């Protein structure tokens, strides 16, 4: 069995795609041992609970208020996670930049970013790509899944990427929808590849 920790801060649609792939048997020999959120209202926490997955809520605000550092926050999170079996840490909309205090505990951390490698790092990648397209600067965008070996933001060795076209009649919403659909499929396929488990057809149960 391969065990994942999935870290989220928001809606958790990528988390849901991974849960669905596991439950449908598409992603065999894989379990999510824990879901972590740094935001209490993250809907992804509710998704995890509904599927009986243990959750951890670990906010940074109390650390900041107490004058404690990101390193201390990261050390405590690593300590909490040590209670769970974890082969791969999957960042899925996780809005916190890890320091080496966390990164040194886990050598296999994947992150997903809704842009092609090197393009539009940060929180507004889809909007920025949409606006760059309107200015005639780009003709396509994409999705990247990369390893997180250090403290860089939305950068690191690329594990997978896929191009996503932008069409003249796209709205920001239609582009977002197309990108998220690619993310959900690409994350599941990449996790399978990294874990070395064969993806099964969706209808086939394990
Ligand atoms: C995704 O677009 C991901 O690429 C980015 O944050 C978003 C998370 O979406 N890092 P969700 O919470 O999985 O719905």
- Predicted confidence (pLDDT) per residue in 103-114, tens digit: 999 989 999 999
% the chain with pLDDT above 90: 93
Q: Are 30 and 195 in contact (CB under 8 A)?
A: yes
Average pLDDT, the chain: 96
From 6, 7, 14, give the residue whose CB has the most ligand 1 atoms within 8 Å, as the site to mutate: 14
What is the distance in A from the centroid of ligand 1 to the CA of 83? 26
Q: Which residues pair with 32 in a beta bridge?
A: 4
pLDDT at 203: 60
User: Is the confidence at residue 204, as pLDDT, over 70?
Assistant: no
| Those residues with Cβ within 8 angstroms of residue 164's Cβ, 6 or more apart along the chain or in another chain | 140, 141, 142, 143, 175, 178, 179, 182
Model confidence at 155, pLDDT cuts 50, 70, 90, reads confident
pLDDT band with cut points at 50, 70 and 90 for residue 201: confident
Residue recorded with tokens 């065990």? 3
Does the Cβ of 12 fall within 6 Å of ligand 1? yes
Binned at pLDDT 50, 70 and 90, residue 47 comes out as: very high
pLDDT at 91 over 70: yes
Annotation marks residue 146 as catalytic? no
78 class by beta-carbon count within 10 Å (0-12 exposed, 13-18 middle, 19+ buried): middle
Once rounded to an integer, what is the mean pLDDT over residues 59-76?
Answer: 97
Nearest protein Cα to ligand 1, atom 10:
93
Probe residue for ligand 1, chosen from 9, 12, 13 as the CB with the greatest number of ligand atoms within 8 Å: 13
Superfamily classification of domain 2-204: Formyl transferase, N-terminal domain (3.40.50.170)
Does residue 206 have a pLDDT over 70? no
Residue 173 per-residue DSSP state: H
Give me the residue spans of the domains in the chain.
Answer: 2-204
**Span from the CA of 92 to the centroid of ligand 1 (angstroms):** 6
């Amino acid at each position: 069995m391969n065990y994942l920790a999935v870290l989220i801060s928001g809606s958790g649609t990528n988390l849901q795609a991974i849960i669905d792939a596991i439950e449908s048997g598409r992603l065999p020999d894989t379990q999510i041992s824990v879901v972590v959120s740094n935001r209490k209202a993250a809907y992804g926490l509710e998704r995890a609970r509904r599927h009986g997955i243990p959750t951890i809520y670990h906010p940074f605000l109390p650390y900041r208020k107490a004058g404690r550092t990101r390193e201390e926050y990261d050390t405590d999170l690593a300590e909490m996670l040590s209670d769970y079996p974890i082969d791969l840490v999957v960042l899925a909309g996780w809005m916190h930049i890890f320091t080496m205090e966390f990164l040194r505990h886990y050598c296999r951390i994947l992150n997903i970013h809704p842009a092609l490698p090197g393009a539009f790092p940060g929180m507004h990648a889809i909007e920025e790509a949409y606006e760059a397209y309107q200015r005639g600067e780009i003709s396509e965008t994409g999705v990247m899944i990369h390893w997180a070996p250090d403290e860089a933001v939305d950068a690191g060795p690329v594990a997978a990427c896929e191009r996503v076209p932008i069409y003249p009649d796209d709205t920001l919403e239609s582009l977002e929808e197309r990108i998220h659909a690619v993310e959900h499929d690409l994350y599941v396929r990449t996790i399978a590849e990294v874990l070395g488990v064969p993806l099964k057809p969706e209808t086939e149960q394990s």
